[in-house]
A = this chain, B = another copy of it.
């Protein structure tokens, strides 16, 4: 007898997975090793920015009042009493009739209340004097202590991914070490006696294993550490032992294949024997309807059983495993971003269930345009290389025409906090 499974909605399936999300512990790493990691601590300013009143330009620190009567016809001459480089501090105060030559970023010397830019003065007497031909206002060209950021300000909240800009903030505020969430180790197992290794020649009846390689990349992109346990033959005992052994070494386990209702689909029985609670084993979506997720209450581990079909596997990963892997590292924006797009081609197939069409989305002429790639036969592997989006065609719709508005999930986007189709 064929087992009848009851499909749940994609939204429900995502909720069930996220409700079982573990949170990885934090670890402290060097600023040199924090790229793309997720902050596990809020980042505060340890000092005012600027840390002192400073010059935004190369120029001269003066007392503005001294230039009150300056004009083209009646230039004011000031005596240059000192020259300080960036990082130096003036050894004396500026008095009336005096100026100190100052570099971009250098601290405003005592006594001075304005900076006059290098370009607007005339240096004379071998740089010992300067001539100014216009009135400089008090406080001109001063970057004030704390005007950008006051000491103690919350700069970045935890849950943010470290980008080059975040790194600049960390460095500026002395975070030589920073707390980030640990990266989960994601075990990957491919099942199916028909699978050949990528280096093996093709033989009748067999195909090369592409899912494992694809998922290793997907895990890396999601910030996880992939650990590949190889390909399993269609044999229950062998498969059970392999799954059990892998679980001892990983935070989360993903398998591809073996989750359908065929004779050689052993994963359901493996989940049973492990004592795992099956969160769902059928989702109202195409491709990937057999996507299964199970939960081990004792260890808190999740087991993702993705379809052996490459496109189903890809979609199942992006919808369920990817957000979970990002989320358990504390990343706030863990879900794929959604955009409205204009369909560029007819897509006449009816959609009894939510359909996720591998698509190429491009922003042109002020709008997103979405083109399906490949035939959307579930075994078309080449289309995965072209797709940068999944077009969402809701279940219960009859087909779409070129020019229709559709939603697309953007695969390489910044991500968003909440799941939405």
Contact = CB atoms under 8 A, between A and B. Distances in A.
A339 B314 contact: no
A310 B363 CA distance: 30
A385 B83 contact: no
Contacts of A339: 363
Contact of A367 (B87, B366, B385): B366
A198 B217 contact: no
A396 interface: no
Contact of A217 (B35, B50, B173, B414): B35
A221 B167 CA distance: 13
Contacts of A308: 104-105
A344 interface: no
A384 B164 CA distance: 8
Interface stretch (A16-24, A208-216, A242-250, A268-276): A208-216
Among A35, A101, A148, A164, chain B packs the most CB atoms within 10 A around the CB of: A164
Contact of A262 (B104, B165, B217, B375): B104
B382 A149 contact: yes
A176 interface: yes
Nearest to A222: B164
Interface string A156-195: 1000101111111111111110000000000000001111
Report, as a range, how many residues of chain A touch the other chain.
Answer: 35 or more
A388 interface: yes
Nearest to A123: B1
Copies of the protein in its oligomer: 2
A5 to B, nearest CB: 11
B168 A314 contact: yes
Interface stretch (A65-73, A74-82, A199-207, A277-285): A199-207
A93 interface: no
A171 B382 contact: no
A167 B58 contact: no
Interface in A40-73: 46-47, 49-52, 56, 58
Contact of A204 (B89, B143, B149, B201): B89
A366 B193 CA distance: 47
A347 interface: no
A88 interface: yes
A298 interface: no
Among A47, A171, A197, A374, chain B packs the most CB atoms within 10 A around the CB of: A171
Which 6 residue pairs of A and B lie closest in terms of their CB atoms, listed nearest first?
A87-B194, A165-B384, A86-B194, A164-B217, A176-B199, A168-B214
